[in-house]
Chain A
């Protein structure tokens, strides 16, 4: 099908974008890579009266080292950069490892970091990885700029803490503490498809090789990315050997998540996948942390 008619605006700067958002509010939709928005417009599930195209806002298309380590990613940085740009391999290897699982090369050539995060699809990889990395998001609006931590940003299915007249401008990835490891795994019917379930983990050790801090986040098992808080508590202060990891994964699958059933997978199968994936990512993250 084809999109319904709309007014097309192509601002050249963030300032211009914000004044258009203020003017049109709920009537307007921001167009980033279009890889989620245009399909919904083609199906006429979305019929915005105004499209504000961000593709000429070049000040949003960048990535650069953060001031205190880590990485800053402009909202309009393309997803393909996560795969090929050396800054990701160097400063956010978890994103680098996850990227090939996000859709297909042709989609990643257009799709943006900001678009995937603002879209907040519960089956999307990047929101889960953002939680695992403890990322923060810079949001610009009429009243100025605010920063929202990833764990307060995703508030439900396709829902975020942003207002319709606000713009996501930057993603802040903090540096990992010393002795940290990370991992991402998912199960999909076909490479690049939305996952039936997926998991991202970051494990940081103290000098005694015990778990100082860990985050385990699932995708496709709830209304948004789901942090396994119970599982992580089970790891705290422990040496994350096989037994400890198994127990944590058990807690994650049995207590921390409440997956639904759909045509792709039953809730029971998703719990099974979550348990298996949790063991794998925690184990790999721990091994990488030990060698770091």
Chain B
């Protein structure tokens, strides 16, 4: 029945070697095996976006990938955002979310942040329409999105200044 497979995955720059069951989802691998519980699970069918992580730098749903598929790949989770070099100082995006009230309960926040990292890399000066389109696959039940858009605009401005 349950087959166990050896994998080695780099998560937030650390190499992890584990034996996993073939049906284990990447989201559960991160949360249960590696205890990186910042990646949230809302729906497990790709709709809510809470489980978004970076796979080799691109945003993907971790609930729609098997852990075995991450073998040999590089994963970044929300825990990998704050800079270790700066004693865990918040990433400019995290700081902007905090200041612009881009979160309330925070359940959706890790997914928004992970979606936004590659987006801002490719769109350093995004329009509001581009921001809303980029975030169309992330659901937030609290904020009404206005302050999330403001947080992205604030972060983009600051990241451009410091670049």
Contact = CB atoms under 8 A, between A and B. Distances in A.
Interface in A25-54: 34-35, 38-39, 41-43, 51, 53
Given A38-B64, A109-B60, A110-B60, A104 B22 contact: no
A13 B66 CA distance: 20
A51 B22 contact: yes
A3 to B, nearest CB: 4
A103 interface: yes
B59 A105 contact: yes
Nearest to B21: A5
Interface in B44-79: 44-46, 49, 52, 55, 58-61, 63-66, 68-69
Contacts of B66: 8, 34, 38, 51, 53
A7 interface: yes
A42 B59 contact: no
Contacts of B39: none
Contacts of A11: none
Interface string A236-255: 00000000000000000000
B68 to A, nearest CB: 6
A151 B30 CA distance: 43
A288 to B, nearest CB: 23
A100 interface: yes
A6 B23 contact: yes
A4 interface: yes
Contacts of A85: none
Contacts of B61: 35, 106-107, 110
A40 B155 CA distance: 37
A5 B5 CA distance: 13
Interface in A112-142: none
A106 B49 contact: yes
Contacts of A109: 55, 58-60
Given A105-B119, A106-B49, A106-B59, A8 B64 contact: no
Given A38-B65, A109-B59, A6 B45 contact: no
Contacts of B64: 34-35, 38-39, 107, 110
Contact of B22 (A8, A103, A105, A110): A8
Given A5-B1, A5-B23, A104 B137 contact: yes
A106 B45 contact: no
B1 A8 contact: no
A80 B56 CA distance: 15
Contacts of B3: 5-8
Nearest to B129: A191
Interface string B17-34: 000011101001000000
A2 interface: yes
The residue in A2, A105, A110 that gathers the most chain B C-beta atoms within 10 A of its C-beta is: A105
A3 B69 contact: no
Interface of A: 1-8, 10, 34-35, 38-39, 41-43, 51, 53, 55, 80, 100, 103-107, 109-110, 190-192
28 contacts: A1-B44, A2-B25, A2-B44, A3-B25, A4-B23, A6-B3, A6-B22, A8-B22, A8-B66, A8-B68, A38-B66, A39-B44, A39-B46, A42-B63, A51-B22, A51-B66, A53-B69, A100-B133, A105-B115, A105-B119, A106-B52, A106-B59, A106-B115, A107-B46, A109-B58, A110-B61, A110-B65, A192-B137
Nearest 5 CB-CB pairs, A to B? A104-B137, A8-B22, A39-B45, A3-B23, A192-B136
Interface of B: 1-3, 5, 21-23, 25, 28, 44-46, 49, 52, 55, 58-61, 63-66, 68-69, 115, 119, 132-134, 136-138
